[in-house]
Structure 1
Amino acid sequence: MGFAEELRSSCAADWDASVGHEFVDRLLDGNLPDPVLRHYLVQDYQFCDAFAALLGQAVASAPSLASRLMFAKVLGAFASDENSYFQDCFDELAVPDVERDGPELTAATRDFDALMRSTLATRSYPAVLAVLLVAEWLYGDWAARAGDPGSWPVAPKHAEWIRLHNNPEYNGWVTWLREEFDAVEPVDTVSRARVADTFAEAIRLERAFFDSVMAAR
């Protein structure tokens, strides 16, 4: 068992609760109400700045050119396809600019953003990978529940969010990220424990974020 799978298994309760969350269920069956999706997207968009910075730090601290180029490629896709999805949905859901750029944050959003930024400040490649891996792998897992595209919701605001996290390129990125994380597993006990704690906290906050979205109903 690799380092990534070992840590995921140790947090199986929070992981499984996130992947099988009511929010995910409602999104996958196309029955997520617009006000809930609107709230989710507005809050989730506030992570984009810190997430982009984490990808940038990964570019800076990766051990090889091949790894740097992979992170740079993903950062470019994040800046185009994913950002376009947010903006298109904001337009459809009539989200004003002030709410897109500076909404009142929930406690769950503030906590997750704080974890991203504190991890960024460490400049630790394994720690940065831990947060990126949780975010990408967990989303890949819940999106995989959607199955074949023929069974996806009809509305683009639901189907496109699934597609962004359930396609061959994305799945390949998650596999690569998991292998990269395994390859840089810290050898000393203290560093390994810190990375494990960061990984576990990221999963806990993913679950708390989904909980907060549904509680906002």
Structure 2
Amino acid sequence: MSIDVKDIKPLSERIRAANQDVWDAMQAHRFVAEIEADRLSADTFKAYLVYECDFVETAMLIFGHMLVKAPGLEERRWLAGVLQALAVEQIGYFERTFAALGITAADRARPLPPSVFAFRDGMLAIARDGTYRDGVAIMLAAEWMYATWCTRAAACRIGDPILRRWVDLHAEPEFLAQADWLRRQLDAADPAEEDRLGDRFRRALELEIAFHQAPFEGAAP
């Protein structure tokens, strides 16, 4: 029996479906649920921001590895734009937000929880030691995850204006376009790589789940 090409799902969709358990676990994470219910504590959000800001520099390194390994100029130009946005826009966002929330340099210097180190080091190791598509798979897992639940949460009532802005940033067209670009990059991979890339996608989500638990367990600024 012949298979209609239109019935074959894109690689990214197949990989997400194969890892639906960890995807759903992240989508229903306590961090997400409390934001959607408008009951995330200020201390938890502050702790999260410190941990997330720490990861921005790592994200720059991850995308840097991807840029070096990218297959062509089009991909390199896009990734150069991503690096510019991380270095200027995202760092600027955290600086302004820390000032608004009274998060000090001393707060940021506190030891990070083990799961935050594991997230940072685990993601970087995959991008450093793997292929271009390996880097795509882990960053797609992260950004698709955020784009999905933040788009949902953006329709909820969120009383804290700073938290509201953070959610909205991950539901705006620019962020969604980045997730879409990563999806297209993964869809262009050789189908023979599906199992390995699926493993990378899953590992990133597992690391994200533990990372998002850390603000509830560690001391908040």
Q: What residue number does 1:156 align with?
A: 161
Q: What residue number does 2:132 align with?
A: 125
Give the superposition deviation at 1:75. Answer: 1.9
Q: Deviations over 1:112-146 (max 9, x none)?
A: 11112211321510111111111111010111112
Mean CA deviation greater in 8-17 or 125-134: 8-17
Q: Deviations over 1:44-86 (max 9, x none)?
A: 2221121111111222221121111111112222222322222
Quick check: 1:109–1:209 contact (8 Å CA) kept in 2? yes
Distance 1:20 1:109 in 2: 20
Q: Which runs of 5+ in 1 are unaligned?
A: none
Give the superposition deviation at 1:164. Answer: 1.5
Q: What residue number does 1:60 align with?
A: 68
Q: What residue number does 1:6 align with?
A: 14
Quick check: 1:131–1:202 contact (8 Å CA) kept in 2? yes
Q: 1:179 to 1:198 in 2, by over 3 A?
A: same
Give the superposition deviation at 1:153. Answer: 2.4
Structure of larger gyration radius = 2
For the residue of structure 2 that corresponds to 1:105, the secondary structure is coil
Give the superposition deviation at 1:194. Answer: 3.4
**Equivalent pairs, count:** 211
What letter corresponds to residue 207 of structure 1 in structure 2? I
Q: What residue number does 1:78 align with?
A: 86
Which of the numbers 174, 178, 181 marks the counterpart of 1:176?
181
Distance 2:23 2:86 in 1: 24
Distance 1:178 1:23 in 2: 25
Q: What residue number does 2:151 align with?
A: 144
Give the superposition deviation at 1:152. Answer: 4.8
Quick check: 1:136–1:174 contact (8 Å CA) kept in 2? yes
Quick check: 1:57–1:123 contact (8 Å CA) kept in 2? no
Give the superposition deviation at 1:154. Answer: 4.5
Distance 2:177 2:145 in 1: 14
After the TM superposition, which parts of structure 1 deviate over 3 Å for at least 4 consecutive aligned residues? 191-194
Pairing 1:43–2:44 present: no
Distance 1:122 1:47 in 2: 18
Give the superposition deviation at 1:156. Answer: 3.0
Distance 1:147 1:35 in 2: 21
Q: What residue number does 2:5 align with?
A: none
Distance 2:91 2:44 in 1: 19
Quick check: 1:7–1:196 contact (8 Å CA) kept in 2? yes
Q: Which runs of 5+ in 2 are unaligned?
A: 1-8
Q: What is the RMSD of the two structures over their aligned residues, measured on CA atoms?
A: 2.0
Q: What residue number does 1:135 align with?
A: 142
Mean CA deviation greater in 90-99 or 125-134: 90-99
Q: 1:154 to 1:84 in 2, by over 3 A?
A: farther
Quick check: 2:65–2:127 contact (8 Å CA) kept in 1? yes
What letter corresponds to residue 122 of structure 2 in structure 1? L
What letter corresponds to residue 27 of structure 2 in structure 1? V
